[in-house]
Amino acid sequence: MRRAKITIIGAGNVGATAAHWVASKDLGDVVLVDVVQGVPQGKCLDLTETAPLEDIDVTLVGTNDYAETANSDVIIVTAGLARKPGMSRDDLLLRNAEVVSEVVRSSTQHSPDAFVIVVTNPLDAMCHVALKASGFPSHRVVGMAGLLDSSRFRAFIGMELKVSVEDIVAFVMGGHGDQMVPLPRLSSVGGIPLTTLLAPERIEALVQRTRMAGGEIVALLKTGSAYYSPSASAVRMAAAYINDRRRVIPCSALLSGQYGIDGLYIGVPILLGGKGVEQIFEIELNQDELAAMQRSADAVGELVEVLNKHGY
């Protein structure tokens, strides 16, 4: 059987760590691409030299040439600038649109059947850029954000209740940014509603921390943004596709009327399997939650308008 081939574009913190997760999970062969000469090659060589220690057989190739990515099953897009302290995700918009457009066009030419996972910020807007640059159907272009945001929410609930994160389901929808929509009402611990386990003000504090979790790490690191959990989330999504896991997870997907939103990428629960986005779940939201989704969609819509004006 042919091994899965996973192209990761951007050999920075998220991209290189994603390569590490792919290798450590033996998920498939990796091609790591960057504009910077030597860095993807050096990082892949270093990872290759861990293979004897970790007892893994994956091949890792670092390159600056998209020809090497040909016939990839999955393309993970992390190329771009990371947020600096004080910089909003939206400041990155046009700079990263240029990068994402270029790298998606170059990579999808060589892998016309690939599943594209966008990681670069501002996330939901970059999904639009990737969709257009690839010309792919929308079920093969998704964004990674909700899985990370819900993992952060789960981690914070676990820390608060001192219980295993394994038993925690935390629900986060909406755009990736300050407008995300964590839903405590649909979150639970071992099947017990979160709202019966914690006081409303504690839940609100955890929700706020989840909203600001990316910024919390930027403020601590000072020279970059989070990368362990973002890369792990992207690789989980790649695994769901490659192994046809049919997982139900939040991802940024193109909506066509669900939640009253049409033609915008936004975080929603999807069924992620071997065909990509196989279903978008439209769950019942109360009025406040729907309004929060709409605010989130408006924020994404504004960015998409700017992108459209600039030809992306």
Minimum distance from CB of 217 to ligand TXD (Å)?
Answer: 9
Annotated catalytic residue within 110, 128, 176, 310: 176
Q: Does 34 bind ligand TXD (CB under 6 A)?
A: yes
**Residue (23 or 189) nearer to ligand TXD, CB:** 23
**Which of 83, 128, 140, 152 touches ligand TXD by CB under 6 A?**
83
Minimum distance from CB of 46 to ligand TXD (Å)?
Answer: 15
* Contacts to ligand TXD from residues 170-189, by CB under 6 A: 176
Minimum distance from CB of 173 to ligand TXD (Å)?
Answer: 14
**Residue (98 or 167) nearer to ligand TXD, CB:** 98
**Which of 7, 13, 41, 111 touches ligand TXD by CB under 6 A?**
13
* Contacts to ligand TXD from residues 94-153, by CB under 6 A: 96, 99, 102-103, 119-121, 123, 144-145, 148
- Mark whether 176 is an active-site residue: yes
**Residue (36 or 192) nearer to ligand TXD, CB:** 36
What's the chain look like in SS3? CCCCEEEEECCCHHHHHHHHHHHHCCCCEEEEECCCCCHHHHHHHHHHCCHHHHCCCCCEEEECCHHHHCCCCEEEECCCCCCCCCCCHHHHHHHHHHHHHHHHHHHHHHCCCCEEEECCCCHHHHHHHHHHHHCCCHHHEEECCHHHHHHHHHHHHHHHHCCCHHHEECCEEECCCCCCEECHHHCEECCEEHHHCCCHHHHHHHHHHHHCHHHHHHHHHCCCCCCHHHHHHHHHHHHHHHCCCCEEEEEEEEEECHHHCEEEEEEEEEEEECCEEEEECCCCCCHHHHHHHHHHHHHHHHHHHHHHHCCC
Query: Site residues (CB under 6 A) for ligand TXD?
Result: 9-15, 33-36, 78-83, 96, 99, 102-103, 119-121, 123, 144-145, 148, 176, 224-227, 230
Q: Which residues does the annotation mark as catalytic?
A: 176
